[in-house]
Structure 1
Amino acid sequence: MLKVISIESRSQISEIFANYNPKEQSWLVSDLRTKFELQQKILGRDGQYVDESVLRASDLWKMLLKRLDPGLRLVSDPFARSLLRTIMDEHAEVLGVNSSAEDTVFSYIDQMAAVIFHPEGTQRLTEWFESHPEAMNRWKEWYLRARFCALKLLQDHRVITADWITSYLQNFNELERVWNIPLIVDLSGEITRVEAELLHVLSRSVDVVILEPNPEWRKDFHFLLKPYDDLRAQSAKTEKLPKPAEVAKKIEVLRFSGMLAEIKNSVGTVRCWLEQGIAADNIAIIAPDIETYWPVLQAYLAEEGIPVQKDITHKAQSLPSVTRWLALLRSKSGRLSSSDLEISFFEKEEAQQLRYEEFRALFKSLYVNEDLARNDIVHKVFFEQMDLTGFLKRDEFVAKALISWNADETDIVQVILRELLQNAISTTSLTWKEWLSYLESIVAAKEYTLEKGEPRGMMVTKLMSAHSEKARRRIFVGLTDESLKGRNKTQLSGQDYFELAKDIGFYLDNPDQSDLEFELRLLAQAESDEDLYCFGATDLSGSLCSPATFWMSLQGEHEKLTVPLETRWDELQHSQQRGERPLLAGRKQQVEDRIEQDLGKVPYAPILGAELPRISASAVESFLECPFIFAAQRYFKLKDLPDIDLDVDHRTRGQLAHAIFEQLTIEPMRFDWTVPELEELLEKVRTEKKLIFADERLWTPLKRRHVQLGLRFLDFEKRWRQEFRKTRTIGREKRFEFYLDPKTEEIHREAKDNCFRISGQIDRVDTDEDGHLVVVDYKSSSGGISAHASWLKNHELQLLFYMWVLEKGLMEDVQGEVIGLFYYVFRNFERKGFKVEDLAGALYPASKRKDKNATYEAKERYLTEFSQILMTTLDRIKNGECDARPADYKTCTTCEWRRQCRAPHLN
């Protein structure tokens, strides 16, 4: 017999529960938390209960399915999706789409399951389409695709998901044969039309009591509650409980700047309630999706020491061993990505032979498997790629996957594989790609418990599980339109849902009728002492949110922004003033010091290493540009190597050009180099420099261009030396090294205490027969080169540094007086720089315009000023200066260390 009891408030259910006999009846609920709470009540009242005393609706439908069709396997959504993608690829010509449309097809199966699995569903829908051509054009083809794939899953693979069970059970008329326990149904707004039909069928053989929510505002959710109308029309008896007395309670409507403020205020409020003597299990924090709040909320509650009933769990994918395992499987199966390669490689012993910066430069851009050969070590580790052709049986995949599991712990991999083995039978065949995709979905969803919840702790739960007689003080957070409304992933319009229900009797889940909003309004009417309704204007990522209609309908100051209450973390920042123990005071002082440093009010502590850093011309320039850049390179040993990409970087081109010029200027210079000789030279240079390219085909045009560059260089040098016949090159890529004490300005050949090791390399030194020297530095373009009068001002010290070294006689085999400093731009073979005009004619031409700074006096002034800058800079370096104080803030826009920098103007 079917009986419907109309209730206006959840508090009325306790009257029915008092007369409920758990030994002879089953109480049907929608969620696990409510089931657990009812079981505890039965245990407290009767001292025992049987499994069927309280059931979730989903558990009942699974039991009926197992008894009616034991050969049909219940599988998870991710596994069903993997099978669905295989089906779509196999029948792509028939369907007109392939597995790339899997998400859409799966959404249509979920949405239309009641029609797809109904014996007359497709026929009725086809007739309906005839009178609704606009809807037919919009989504008929998608429905047919979904039906085709759903029947393939059901009939060929013999699998079904939990969401489709009730729709499939419509095909069985003997439900009453497999169930004989009377039911009390308490599903609130989560009941569907199909479930209502199944309950009506069961009522033919057992008593079924339906608890129908019937609030005053029921008409606002007419479509959602339509199943109850049908049940009431079919029932043998209806009953309406007396209206409960209204109980006054305190209500607050709070608006916050964002979710974090909601969390802080909620934790602060809970703390106040606990201090007032309220028991923790009488307090609840409720959200439409509590998992969005939980990671941050749990951290705040833990700091307060507030116990919660909710287990502390972590996703399996958060474990490094699991992350490395999946990354290794993807890398070895040809799904190359820089991040996967990094994760899977740097946990191996071989990784110690390769710096991270070098690895990143080599593998930031990956295109094909052959890119692994850019480094012998990496190539050796990943050389053996898995055979991805054809289909694999379940056990074959598991065996291959386990070969790559390198961690000592096996508990988590057992949990992951248990899920796989439960869904896939031994004969299941999928491609490697699908198996791996399914494994990834298991890892993404699977959780493991770090700490069990405290049974008598505070309740932290989602909206659909929030009904509780114990919760007398409740905080509702996340009351946004986005969190309460469902998303329609199909092309059915709101009108389509109403037309389908009116014309052919299929009440599909309409996203415009939110069961979350219905439950929220029901909860608001439930008995409690105090309720807080909170809205945060932004989520944790900073995206704007819209307030829920229900929150706006409450009486309160909706426009007033509430400042959240303080938490324990706030108190820790003020602990010194409150006389807390020294440990907390010290922590607070450290925080304040770091804030002051970030604001630029307090200098950073100097870096005083055991040894003084090595100094070069570029190092001095870097320090003057910004001390932090120098520290990053010299102290922290950070590198920013050019990435191997399809666009050959400037450094590689520069290396080739320098190496060619070095060989072509060997005295006596030859000007009759042939193209084959230059090509052979370039191949030799490539081998010696170990140059690597993203694609081997890039080398041929690059080599051709540098052959032409070499020929043009020889032609220019030939004409230059015909004009300046005394020119001879006596230094090519010439290295130097010495030790300098900035205090005494003493120079030593051997290492000394408190001395800097100074080294460098001069691209080229030319001389004449009279002991004069010209320093040449090769540049690919003239961009960024200043006139010599601005060198000191712009901290362009490289050529002045080289002149200072030569004038000090620090190169034993290169002696003479420097009379010219030139940047040699090999794009147009132009020389820019400083020269002594009085000596023009032997090594360089005279200027067309008279330069008053091109004199011996100017040269001596440059040497003096450079020496002062060098000694001052070395003294600052010796004192450990490392503050981020750029000489020009424009530097920061292109600085390679910007992300690591703590400069005040960047924070």
Structure 2
Amino acid sequence: MLQIIPIESRSQITEIFAKYNPREQSWLVSDLRTKFELQQKILGREGQYVDESVLRASDLWKILLKRLDPGLRLVSDPFARSLLRTIMDEHAEVLGVNSSAEDTVFSYIDQMAAIIFHPEGTTRLEEWFATHPESMNRWKEWYLRARFCALKLLQDHRIITADWITAYLQNFNELERVWNIPLIVDLSGEISRVEAEILRVLSRSVDVVVLEPNPSWKSDFHFLLKPYEDLRAQSQTIETLPSVTKKEKRIEVLRFSGMLAEIKHSVGQVREWLNAGITAESIAVIAPDIEIYWPVLQAYLEEEGIPAQKDITHKAQSLPSVTRWLALLRSKSGRLSSSDLEISFFDKEESQQLRYEEFRSLFKSLYVNEDLARNDIVYKVFHEQLDLTGLLGRDEFVAKALLYWNSSETDIVQVVLRELLQNATSSTKLIWKEWLSYLESIVAAKEYTLEKGNPRGVMVTKLMSAHSEKAQYRIFIGLTDESLRGRNKTQLSGQDYFELAKDIGFYLDNPDQSDLEFELRLLAEAESTEDIYCFGATDLSGSLCSPATFWMSLKGDHEKITLPKETRWDELQHSEERGGRPWIVSRKENIQKRIAQDLGKLEPELISSSELPRISASAVESFLECPFMFAAQRYFKLKDLPDVDLDVDHRTRGQLAHALFEKLTVEPMRFDWKAEELDQILETVRVEKKLLFADERLWIPLKKKHIQLGLRFLDFEKRWREEFKKTRTLAREKRFEFYFDPKTEEISREPKDNCFRISGQIDRIDGDDSNHLVVVDYKSSAGGISAHGSWFKNRELQLLFYMWVIEKGLLEDIGGEVIGLFYYVFRNFERKGFKIEDLAGMLYPASKRKDKNATFEAKERYMSEFSTVLMSTLDRIKKGECQAEPAEYKTCVNCEWRRQCRAPHLN
């Protein structure tokens, strides 16, 4: 017999539960938490209970399925998706799409299972399409694809997911034969039309009492509650309960700046309630999806010392051992990515031979497996790829995957593999990609418990599990429109759902009718002492959120931003020394000091190092550009290496040109080099410099370009030397190294304590028989080159640095007077820089317009000013200055270390 009992308030259920006999009846609920709470009540009342005393609806449907079709296997969604992708690829020609559309097809199966599995569903839908051509054009093909794949899964693979069970049970006429226990159905808004039909069929042989939610506003959810309307029409009796007098309760409606503020206020409020003597069991923190809040909320509760009923769990994918395992499997499978390669490589002993910056420059951009050969060490680790051809059985895949598990911790891998073995049979065959994808989905969903919840703690739960007689002080957080409304992944419009229900009687789950919003309104009317409704304007990532309609309907100031209550963490940051805990003060002062430094109100601390850093021309320029850039390179040993990519970087091009010019300027200089000889030089240079390219095909055009550059260089140098016949190249890529004592300003070639090691390399030095020298520095373009009068202003000190080194007599085998400092732009073979005009015609031509500042006196001023700048810079470096104070803010735009920088203007 089918009986309906309209329920105006959840408190009425207490009366029904008091008459319920758990030995003879089964109470049907929608969620696990409510099931456990009812079991505890039965245990307290009866001293025992049987499994069937309280059942989740999903448990009942599984029992019915097992009894009616024992050969059909229930599997998880991820495994069904893996098989679905295989089916779609096998029948791509028929379906018109391949596995890339798997998510859409799976959504259609979920959404339309009631029609797909109904014996007459497709026939009725075809008739409906005939009168709804616009809907037919929009999603009929997707429905047919979903039906084809669903029937393949059901009939060929004999599997089904939990969400499809009720739709499949429509095919059986003997439901009442396999169930004989009377039911009390308490599913609130979580009941579908198909489930209602199953309950009606079961009522032929057993008593089925349906508790129908009957609030005064139920007409707002007519579509959602349609299953109850159907059951009411077919019930034998409708019992009316006495009305319940609603008690007054205190209500607060609060708006916060974001989710974090919601969490802080909730924790602060819970602490106030506990201090007022309210028990933790009487307090509940409720959200539509509590898992979004839980990681941060749990940390705040733990700091407060507040127990919670919710278990502390972690995702399996958060474990480093699992992350490395999957990354290694992907890398060995040819699914190359920089992040996977990094994770799987840097836990190996071989990784100690390769700096991270070097690894990143080599493998930031990956295209094919051959890219692994950019480094011999990495290649040796990963060159042996897995055989991915053909189908693999379940056991074969598990055996291969376990070969790459490198951790001594095996508990979590057992949990993951147990899930795989439960869903896939030994006869299941998939390609490697699908097995690996399925394994990844298990890891993404699987959780492991770190700490069990405290049964007497605060209730922290999702909205659909929040009905509880104990919870009298409730905080509702996350009341946003986005969290309460479902997302429609199909192309069915709201009108389609209503038309399908009206015309052919299929009430599909309409995302516009939110069961979460329905439950929220029911909970709001449940008996309690105090309720707080919270809305955060932004989520934890900073994205804007819209307030829920229900929250807006409550009385209160919806525009006012509420400051959250203080928590223990706030107290620790602001507390003064008391109770014998001086560490609180030191931590507070340190935080305040760091903030003041970041804001530029305090000078940053100086770097203390046991050794003075190495100094070069570029290091001096870098320090003057920004001391933090210098510190990043010289103290923190960070490197900014060019990425190996399809676009050949300027550094590689520069290395090729410099090495080519070095070979071509050997004295006596030849001008009759052939293209074939230059080709061989460049091949040799490539090997010597260990130049790498993302694609080997990039080398050929680059080499041809540099052959032409070499021929043009020879032609220019020939004409130059015909005009300046005494010119000789005295040094090429000339290295120097010496030690400088900043206290005594003494220079030594031998290492000494507390001395700067100064080193560098001069591209080229030309000279003649009169002991005059010209310093040449090769540049690919004139961009960024200043006139010599602006060298100090623009911190271009490289050529002056080289002149200072030469005239101090610090170069072996070479000495003389520097009369010219030139940037040699090899794009157009122009020389720009400083020269003494009085000596023009010997090693360089005179200027077209006489430069008044190109004299011996100007040179001496340059030398004197450079020496002053160098000494003051070395003094600042010795003190340990490392403040992030760029000479120009535009420097920060392209700085490699801006994310690590604490410059006030970047914070």
Q: TM-score, normalised by structure 2?
A: 0.99
Q: Whole-Å Cα distance in 2 between the matches of residues 194 and 100 of structure 1?
A: 31
Alignment of 1:612-623 (within 5 A): 612-623=612-623
Corresponding residue for 1:27?
27
Could you tell me how far 1:241 is from its partner in structure 2? 0.7
Q: Return the letter of the residue paired with 2:389.
A: T
Give secondary structure in 2 for the equivalent of 1:10: coil
| Deviation (angstroms), 1:578 | 6.2
Tell me how far apart the structure 2 counterparts of residues 827 and 428 of structure 1 sit (CA, whole Å).
Answer: 64
What is residue 581 of structure 2 aligned with on the other side? 581
2:30–2:57 CA contact under 8 A, matched in 1: yes
Q: How does 1:429-508 map to 2 (within 5 A)?
A: 429-508=429-508
Q: Distance in 2 between the 1:32 and 1:761 partners?
A: 73
Deviations 1:739-780 (A, max 9, x none): 111232211111122211111111100111110000000000
AA aligned opposite 2:75? V
- 1:283-336 Cα shifts (integer Å, max 9, x gaps): 001011111111111111111111000000011011111111111011010100
Alpha-carbon distance in structure 2 between the residues aligned to 1:576 and 1:890: 42
The residue type equivalent to 2:191 in the other structure is I
**What's 1:672 paired with?**
672
1:651 is matched with which residue?
651
Partner SS for 1:539: coil
Separation in 1, partners of 2:252, 2:817? 86
- Structure 2 Cα separation of the partners of residues 885 and 514 of structure 1: 55
User: Could you say what secondary structure the match of 1:500 adopts?
Assistant: helix
CA offsets 1:575-603 (integer angstroms, 9 cap, x no match): 11666711212211111111111111222
2: distance between equivalents of 1:348 and 1:482? 44
**1:389-404 alignment, distance < 5 Å:** 389-404=389-404
Q: 1:669-699 CA distances to partner (integer Å, 9 max, x unpaired)?
A: 0111111111111111111111111111111
State the shift of 1:812 in Å: 2.6
Residue of structure 2 in register with 1:370 after alignment: 370
2:301 equivalent in structure 1: 301
What is the letter of the counterpart of residue 245 of structure 1?
T
Distance in 2 (alpha carbons) for counterparts of 1:661 and 1:148 = 69
CA distance in 1, matches of 2:819, 2:585: 63
Give the distance between the partners of 1:372 and 1:648, measured in 2 at CA: 18
One-letter identity of the residue aligned with 1:593: K
Runs of 4+ in 1 over 3 A off after TM superposition: 577-580
Q: Describe how 1:342-421 pairs up with structure 2 within 5 A.
A: 342-421=342-421
- Aligned counterparts of 2:139 and 2:736: Cα–Cα separation in 1: 77
Q: Could you say what secondary structure the match of 2:184 adopts? A: strand
CA distance in 2 between partners of 1:148 and 1:890 (Å): 60
What amino acid is aligned across from residue 572 of structure 2 in structure 1?
L
Given that 1:730 and 1:767 are in contact with CA atoms closer than 8 Å, whether structure 2 keeps it comes out as: yes
Quick one: distance in 1 between partners of 2:703 and 2:889? 39
3-state SS in 2 of match to 1:861: helix
**Alignment-derived partner of residue 279 in structure 2:** 279
- Equivalent residues in 2 for 1:487-566 (5 A)? 487-566=487-566
Say whether 1:833 aligns with 2:833: yes
The 2-side partners of 1:553 and 1:753 are apart by: 76
Whole-Å separation in 1 of the counterparts to 2:688 and 2:490:
60
Equivalent residue letter for 1:496: D
Residue aligned with 1:146, SS: helix
1:247 and 2:233 aligned: no
Residue 103 (str. 1) matches residue 103 (str. 2): yes
CA distance in 1: counterparts of 2:579 and 2:600, whole angstroms: 28
* 1:804 counterpart letter in structure 2: W
Which letter does structure 2 place at the counterpart of 1:36?
F
Farther-moved stretch of structure 1 (564-573 vs 739-748): 739-748
1:73 paired to 2:73: yes
Q: Which residue of 2 aligns with 1:607?
A: 607
Would you say 1:424 and 2:424 are equivalent positions? yes
Q: Deviations over 1:793-849 (max 9, x none)?
A: 211110001001110111130011110000000000000000111111110011111
- Deviation per CA, 1:127-150, whole angstroms, max 9, x where unpaired? 111111111111111111111110
Distance in 1 separating the partners of 2:149 and 2:44 = 49
Distance 2:715 2:810 in 1: 33
Report the Cα offset of residue 504 of structure 1: 1.1
Corresponding residue for residue 325 of structure 1: 325
Partner secondary structure for residue 735 of structure 2: strand
Tell me whether 1:217 sits opposite 2:225 in the alignment: no
Matches of 2:496 and 2:891, distance apart in 1: 59
Match of 1:663 in 2: 663
Question: In the alignment, what sits opposite 2:683?
Answer: 683
For the residues of structure 2 that align with 1:203 and 1:812, how far apart are their CA atoms?
Answer: 104
Tell me if structure 1 keeps the 8 A contact 2:772–2:817. Answer: yes
- Taking the aligned partners of 1:367 and 1:743, their CA distance within structure 2 comes to 54
Q: Which residue of 2 aligns with 1:138?
A: 138
Q: Is the 8 A contact 1:743 1:871 kept in 2?
A: no
Whether the 8 Å contact between 2:316 and 2:447 is mirrored in structure 1 is yes
Bigger Cα displacement from structure 2, 780-789 vs 739-748: 739-748
Task: Give 1:306's aligned amino acid.
Answer: I
Give the letter for the 1:381 counterpart.
V
- Percent identity among equivalent residues? 83
3-state DSSP of counterpart to 2:168:
helix
Segment of structure 1 superposing worse, 492-501 or 797-806: 492-501
Indicate conservation of the 8 Å contact 2:577/2:584, yes or no.
no
Q: Which residue number in structure 1 is paired with residue 118 of structure 2?
A: 118
- Write the distance in 2 (CA, Å) between the matches of 1:615 and 1:561: 55
Match of residue 748 from structure 1: 748
Letter paired with 1:422: Q
- Structure 1 distance, partners of 2:75, 2:288, is 26
What is residue 336 of structure 2 aligned with on the other side? 336
Task: Give CA deviations for 1:64-107 in whole Å, capped at 9, x if unaligned.
Answer: 10111000000000110111111111111111111111111111
| 2:151 match: secondary structure | helix
Number of residue pairs the alignment of both structures matches: 907
Q: Tell me the amino acid that sits aligned with residue 135 of structure 1.
A: S
**CA 1:597/1:579 → structure 2, altered by over 3 Å: closer, same or farther?**
farther
Amino acid at match of 1:311: D
**Counterpart code for 2:539:** D
Q: Secondary structure of 2:812's match?
A: coil
Distance 2:623 2:839 in 1: 35
Which secondary structure does the structure 1 equivalent of 2:569 belong to? helix
Secondary structure in structure 1 of the residue aligned to 2:211? strand
SS of the residue corresponding to residue 603 of structure 2 reads: coil
Alpha-carbon contact 1:742-1:872 (below 8 Å) kept: no
Match of 1:169 in 2: 169
CA distance in 2, matches of 1:178, 1:167: 17
Match of 2:733 in 1: 733
User: Is the Cα contact below 8 Å between 1:255 and 1:561 reproduced in 2?
Assistant: yes
Find the counterpart in structure 2 of residue 268 from structure 1. 268
Structure 1 contact 114–508 (Cα < 8 Å) conserved: yes
1:862 aligned residue: 862
Q: Quote the Cα distance in structure 1 between the aligned partners of 2:589 and 2:472.
A: 41
1:547-601: CA deviation from partner (whole Å, max 9, x where unpaired): 1111111111112211111111111111116667112122111111111111112
Q: Secondary structure at the match of 2:198?
A: helix
Q: What is the DSSP-based 3-state SS (H/G/I as helix, E as strand, rest coil) of the residue aligned with 1:24?
A: coil
- Kept in 1: contact 2:9–2:215 (CA 8 A): yes
Given that 2:3 and 2:210 are in contact with CA atoms closer than 8 Å, whether structure 1 keeps it comes out as yes
Q: What is the TM-score with the length of structure 1 in the denominator?
A: 0.99
CA distance in 2, matches of 1:521, 1:754: 75
Q: Which amino acid aligns with 2:118?
A: H
Partner of 2:62: 62
CA distance in 2, matches of 1:777, 1:135: 72
Question: 2:357 touches 2:641 (CA, 8 Å); kept in 1?
Answer: yes
